[in-house]
Structure 1
Amino acid sequence: MIDFTLAKTKHAMWGLQLSTYIGSDNATPPASCLTSYRQCKLGTWLYSDGLSSYGHFPKMRDLERVHRQLHEMAQEIVTLKQHNQVAAAQQKLIEMQTVSNEILHLLDRVNQKFSELR
């Protein structure tokens, strides 16, 4: 089982790392921003126990979809930064915040559903 509070904290830290990278002159993006949506901690859980055990819950499928979208946006942001399109990267980062907030909301909803099952 996943620790939802820890997952939300790590998610926030991930977003902060990406934001810091975009706002700095650091030439190397944080490795966590390049990690596949299947290989990060949340993705590892989703594609092992999460979906196999709880994939019948609609919010779990939503979480999977939005999580994948978030990683795709992050990779696009990193690519923009690497091509010196910082303003475009910053704009995409602002757009990504909505998706990031949706992840937090879905984590809360899934956690609530799991709590009801216990």
Structure 2
Amino acid sequence: MEIVQLDLQQLRIKHILYKSKVRSFLYGGTFDTAFFSAAGPVDTWFTTVGKARYGHEPELQQLERLHQKLNNIALDLHKLYSSGQIEQAHDGLKEVNYTSDLFIATLSELDKRLSKV
């Protein structure tokens, strides 16, 4: 497996973990403040591997925007859940899933394009 594929596979795995953590706190798990901060694993990947190796790729910029959008949604859902608006927070998973699908599709496009080079 090439370095590009390994790097992007790492991001894919970190993203899936991120989405699982959102689902987890919405169903009674603990909210991990550090995980949903700029020090979290997805953000760390972007600031280290992502920008260093793929910063010039337009898809990377789109992926960063999508992740930031997901993070904002997750923080909003946590506020809803914490204030007792559990049903509304659960309904917000639709937006998480939609944005996550866009993230994975964009990541797949980048992977496909860079693997051909």
Q: TM-score, normalised by structure 1?
A: 0.78
Instruction: Give me the CA root mean square deviation.
Output: 2.3
**1:76-117: per-residue Cα shift (whole Å, max 9, x none)?**
111111111101111111111100111111221222233233
What stretches of structure 1 of length at least 5 have no aligned partner? none
Cα distance change on mapping 1:47 and 1:6 into 2, 3 Å: closer
- Matched to 1:76, the amino acid is D
Q: How does 1:6-45 map onto structure 2 within 5 Å?
A: 6-24=10-28, 26=29, 28-29=30-31, 31=32, 34-36=35-37, 38-45=38-45
How many aligned positions are there? Answer: 113
Task: Give the ranges of 4+ consecutive aligned residues of structure 1 lying more than 6 Å apart after TM superposition.
Answer: none
1:4 to 4, 8, 16: 8
1:96 maps to which residue? Answer: 96
40-49 or 55-64: which moved more? 40-49
1:54 Cα deviation (Å)? Answer: 2.4
Q: 1:45, 1:73 → 2: CA distance?
A: 20
46-55 or 79-88: which moved more? 46-55
What stretches of structure 2 of length at least 5 have no aligned partner? none
Q: 2:34, 2:97 → 1: CA distance?
A: 14
Q: 1:114, 1:102 → 2: CA distance?
A: 18
Q: 1:13, 1:115 → 2: CA distance?
A: 24
**1:52-81: per-residue Cα shift (whole Å, max 9, x none)?**
442322111111111111111111111111
Answer yes or no: is 1:87 the counterpart of 2:91.
no
Cα distance change on mapping 1:49 and 1:12 into 2, 3 Å: closer
Structure 2 counterpart SS, 1:3 = helix
Bigger RCO of structures 1 and 2 (CA < 8 A, at least 6 apart) = 2
Answer yes or no: is 1:62 the counterpart of 2:62.
yes
